[in-house]
Amino acid sequence: MKKYVITGIAAAAVIAAGSATYAAMGDDCGYDDKGYFHSGGKVYAMGTMNDAKACAEKGLLPQSVLNRLGKWGDAATKKEAQAIKDLDAKVKAEKEAAKKAAAAEAAKAAESK
């Protein structure tokens, strides 16, 4: 019985640690403010289009990456880059609108007290 309790506690600790690590990484997409991409303890001059898209899905692409995204490549690459930029802008706008709505709701709740 002790063995099962200890195993259960250990499993819960591993799950909690993993969740905390994931939550801490949730607001980071790998790019720093200068546009360098960090992965696996290494620093790269640029990430891939997939890396950029993953950041755009969170609305986290830094301006330095947005500035260079789509500068080079053929028409298809430039079109993909523009779609990534548009996605990033959309997500950022949605986050900002949600933040404003939450602030308005909080002000309204405070006012009604």
| 101-105-106-109 Cα dihedral, nearest 10 degrees | 180
43: helix, strand or coil: strand
pTM higher than 0.85: no
Span 3-56, pLDDT tens digits: 544 444 444 443 433 333 333 334 689 999 999 999 999 999 999 999 999 999
Span 61-112, pLDDT tens digits: 999 999 999 999 999 999 999 999 999 999 999 999 999 999 999 998 888 8
For 66, residues 6+ apart whose C-beta sits below 8 A from its C-beta are 85, 88
Domain locations in the chain? 48-111
Name which of 52, 49, 71 is nearest 61 in CA terms.
52
